[in-house]
Structure formats: C-alpha cells, structure tokens
C-alpha cells in the first residue's frame, strides 16, 4: 500500500510538472529576446542613468516579456488548427493536444490583465504603450495577420512600441532617428520571416497562413532590398545627428555585417523564420550583437 501511494504521488507530480512545462512553453520564453529592445534606451543612456532607472528599465523588460507571453498564448489558441499542419508548430502544446486550449487562454487573460495593471503602477505613459502593444497584437491575431503588407507592418510597429516603452519607463526621450532605425530593422526581420515561411510551406502556404498567397519570393526580396538600404542609411545618420558621441559611427560596420550575415542565413541557409533562434544559435550573429553592445557602452562612457 505504501509503495502504491508513493507511485501515485510520483504520477501526480509528473503530471503537474508536465502541465507546468506546457504552460511555460506557451509563453515562449525563447522568444523573449525580442524584448531586449526595451532596454535600448537604457543602453544608449547608460552613462547618465541612475540605479532607479536601471530597475525601472528591467521591470519594463519583464512586463513586456509577460505581456508578449500572453499574446503568444492567444496566437496558439487562435491558430491551433492551422498549427497542426505546420511541420514545426504542430509540436506546440495546444496544437499537439498536450494542453487544454481554454485553460491556456485563461492564463493568457490573467497574465495580460496583471501586466497592464503593474505597468500603470510603474508609469502611466508606459502602461498606455503596453496596452497599445497588446491591442495591436490582439488585432494581429484575429485580423491583421491576414492582410497583406499590414501584417509585416503590425509586427514592426510592435518592435517600435517596445523601444518607446523602454524609454518612457525610465523617463528618457528617444530620438526620431532611433525609432526609425527600430522600425526599419523590425520590417527587415518581419520580411525575412515571411520569406522563410513562403519557402518552408511551399504548396500548403495558403492553408497554414492565408496571407502568404499574396506574397511572392520576388516581392519579398525587393522589399527586403529597400528596407536593408534604408536601415543602414538611417543608422548611419543616427550616429552623428542624435546628440550622442560621433564615435558611435565606429559601430556602423558591425550593423552592416550583422544585416549582411542575416541576409546570408535567409538566402543561402534557408533560415530566418525565427530571429530569436538565430540570435542565440548563430555564433557570428551573437558575437556581433554582444560586441556591438559592448562597443556602445565603451563609447558612451568614454566620450560622453
């Protein structure tokens, strides 16, 4: 009887850990690296920020992680049928049947409400940005993801809101050039993601993501070329017109290499569907990002 009780306890524990793991997977912590953009304002103001601002910036990052996690849950709930047809997304907890979709949705709602309330406590303006981010992403989940061109623009706008939110959270005003660079870089990543999906899904593209029926490889390559050029030029202009040390121009080669490396991965390696995965797994990209961050810190602390 005692052995039976121990086995029963272990089964219950395993079931609990399994369900907890499924909930965490729905939050997609691997994709939270996208929210590092929230810390952009903190990075470029590092030489003047206080410990309070550092705490506020990190809090804003965590809130965006939890808020975006609630959106990922909503996406999984809405797309669970289509995800079953995708070679990779079919493994997601809701699509695979490992997690009750409505239980997951309940967690997403509670999480979204909780992050919004705390965001307003942190700073009212930041709370408004986070709410706007959530509303746009909800609109994306139900409608915008199926509207050609607006789908990639909605994704890009989400990145801009991350940058704006990070600045508002610590009380730092961001320059228009910084926001423009953020928008263009986000468009670059969104276009690469669509191109990867177009290549990966091939004949079933309209079944999994109907908007792909309105795209072609040629169109996406042209859009990518336009955005790539604009991104590099905008960043170059930002480095010497933003009021920051002109030595920031030394980081331009790193930005160019990072973009070129990403294009190489898209066109030659057939990657680009998960930017956050590339950031963590592609060593040249990861090294470039880390070197860029370290270089910016050194320049701002030395020449400011």
Tens place of pLDDT for every residue, the chain, 304 residues?
555 555 555 655 556 566 788 888 899 898 898 899 999 988 888 878 899 999 999 999 999 999 999 999 998 998 888 778 777 778 888 888 888 889 889 999 999 999 999 999 999 999 999 999 999 999 998 899 999 999 999 999 999 999 999 999 999 888 888 899 999 999 999 999 898 888 876 655 555 678 888 899 999 999 999 999 999 999 999 998 878 889 999 999 999 999 999 999 988 888 877 788 888 889 999 999 999 999 999 998 898 7
- Residue 61 CA, chain-centre distance (Å), reads 12
User: What is the C-alpha to C-alpha distance for residues 204 and 200, in angstroms, rounded to an integer?
Assistant: 9
pTM, rounded to two decimals: 0.86
Structure tokens at 24: 């965490």
User: What is the C-alpha to C-alpha distance for residues 275 and 40, in angstroms, rounded to an integer?
Assistant: 17
Task: Give me the phi and psi of 193, to 5 degrees please.
Answer: -65, -45
Q: What is the number of alpha carbons within 13 Å of residue 228 lying toward its C-beta?
A: 17
User: What is the C-alpha to C-alpha distance for residues 217 and 209, in angstroms, rounded to an integer?
Assistant: 15
CB 134 within 8 A of CB 70: yes
């Amino acid at each position: 009887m005692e052995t039976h009780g121990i086995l029963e306890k272990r089964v219950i524990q395993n079931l609990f850990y399994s369900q907890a793991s499924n909930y965490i997977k729905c939050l997609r912590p691997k994709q939270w690296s996208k929210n590092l953009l929230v810390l952009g304002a903190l990075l470029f103001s590092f030489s003047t920020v206080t410990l309070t601002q550092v705490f506020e910036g990190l809090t804003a990052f965590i809130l965006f992680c939890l808020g975006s996690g609630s959106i990922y849950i909503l996406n999984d709930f809405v797309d669970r049928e289509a995800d079953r047809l995708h070679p990779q997304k079919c493994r997601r907890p809701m699509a695979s049947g490992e997690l009750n979709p409505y239980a997951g949705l309940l967690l997403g709602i509670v999480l979204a409400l909780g992050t919004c309330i705390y965001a307003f406590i942190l700073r009212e303006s930041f709370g408004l940005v986070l709410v706007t981010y959530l509303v746009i992403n909800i609109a994306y989940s139900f409608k915008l993801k199926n509207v050609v061109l607006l789908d990639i623009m909605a994704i890009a706008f989400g990145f801009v809101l991350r940058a704006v939110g990070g600045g508002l959270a610590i009380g730092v005003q961001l320059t228009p050039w910084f926001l423009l660079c953020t928008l263009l870089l986000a468009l670059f990543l969104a276009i690469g993601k669509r191109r990867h999906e177009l290549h990966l899904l091939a004949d079933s593209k309209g079944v999994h993501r109907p908007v792909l029926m309105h795209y072609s490889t040629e169109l996406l390559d042209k859009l990518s070329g336009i955005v790539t050029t604009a991104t590099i030029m905008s960043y170059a202009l930002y480095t010497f017109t933003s009021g920051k040390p002109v030595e920031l121009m030394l980081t331009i080669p790193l930005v160019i290499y990072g973009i070129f490396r990403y294009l190489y991965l898209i066109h030659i390696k057939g990657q680009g569907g998960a930017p956050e995965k590339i950031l963590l797994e592609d060593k040249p990209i990861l090294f470039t990002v880390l070197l860029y961050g370290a270089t910016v810190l050194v320049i701002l602390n030395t020449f400011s």
